[in-house]
Amino acid sequence: MKLKTAFATMVATMYMASFGVVGATGTLSDTVLSQYGASGIAGNSLKGSGSDWVSQLLNMVKGGASAKDIGSTSATDNKTSSSSDNKGATDKKERPNHLELVMVIDQSGSMSGLEDDTIGGFNSMISKQKKDDVDANVTAVVFSDNAKTIYDRERLGNVREMTDKEYTPGGMTALMDAIGTTITKVEKYDGINEKNNKVLFVIITDGQENDSKEYTKDTIKRMISDKQEKDGWEFVFLGANIDAASEAKSIGVKAENAAKYKNTDAGVRANYAAVADLAKDIVSDNRIRSNWKNNLVEDNQ
């Protein structure tokens, strides 16, 4: 028995050595014995004379498992466990815990008379997000003939209230230029496309483009499509006095992320309430819910 066991271990060890296998204990012979057991490899398992043992033993090793499999069993188990742990960690990272809220807000002349509701709606939105403890940065751009950044990646907790100093309607509607310059600005922010960061880009306008000089509609469509498809940005289009769905589609915004709102005091305020809910949903669920328009005052005419 001792002779058979020693011989079996020696031959199997030599066979496995050709594969570079090392057992969990650090020796090849230990790998053989731990895998098959001394009595399993020798004892009653090996019959006949020593001249028959080699072929019998090699058949046992080959038939039971390859030498590589023998040495890698525990490593594979550990790898599987590690992969499972890493997957859990990855899942958590893929669900964003930080929001980049970007807003492009129309302040052209047609918004006159609604400035108080725009200002009040914006401030209420910020207040609600603070209460909801949303981890966010805020970038807000107002536009008419030109675009002006009033909050440049401000931490949510540091965002001061908007006043009529920041928002005063007047002028034309250079919508494409406002969108284009804002995308160009935001895409340069450090860490903007990290997995735990989500961009929500909201466009609010009450009229057709009529004054852009730097960006065309086709250029904006390419830019938005690129950010949606490659970087996972979410774009939302809120339009009044226009076919919002058609206008959104023409610049690459998904139809389900577009809505036509009534350009009234209630309609304007409801826009900002909806944006506050969108922000919370994206951070908690990494998606825009299908019922996000429920709180809007939509214009279905």
In order of start, what are the domains of the chain with their CATH numbers? 2-88 (no CATH), 95-295 (3.40.50.410)
Once rounded to an integer, what is the mean pLDDT over residues 114-143?
96
Nearest to 18 by CA among 55, 52, 62: 62
Instruction: Say yes or no to pLDDT of 36 above 60.
Output: no
Q: Given this model, what pLDDT does residue 287 score?
A: 82
Token pair belonging to 290: 């299908």
Using 50, 70 and 90 to split pLDDT, how confident is the model at 295? Answer: confident
Residues 163/119, Cβ–Cβ less than 8 Å: yes
Is pTM beyond 0.85? Reply is no
Q: Given this model, what pLDDT does residue 144 score?
A: 97
Q: What is the pLDDT of residues 168-198, one digit of tens each?
A: 999 999 999 999 999 999 999 999 999 889 9
- Structure-token match 């058949």, residue found: 59
Nearest to 288 by CA among 272, 299, 300, 277: 277
Using 50, 70 and 90 to split pLDDT, how confident is the model at 301? Answer: low
Q: What phi, psi does 260 have (nearest 5°)?
A: -100, 120
Q: b/e string for 73-107 if b means 16 or more Cβ within 10 A?
A: beeeeeeeeeeeeeeeeeeeeebbeebbbbbbbbb
Q: Given this model, what pLDDT does residue 89 score?
A: 39
CA 258 to chain centre: 21
Percent of the chain with pLDDT strictly greater than 70: 68
Nearest to 9 by CA among 40, 47, 44: 40
Q: Is 155 left (phi over 0), alpha (psi -120 to 50) or beta?
A: beta
Round to whole Å and give the CA distance between 101 and 298: 23
Using 50, 70 and 90 to split pLDDT, how confident is the model at 61? Answer: very low
Round to whole Å and give the CA distance between 72 and 66: 10
Using 50, 70 and 90 to split pLDDT, how confident is the model at 9? Answer: low
Q: Given this model, what pLDDT does residue 104 score?
A: 99
Residues 209/246, Cβ–Cβ less than 8 Å: no
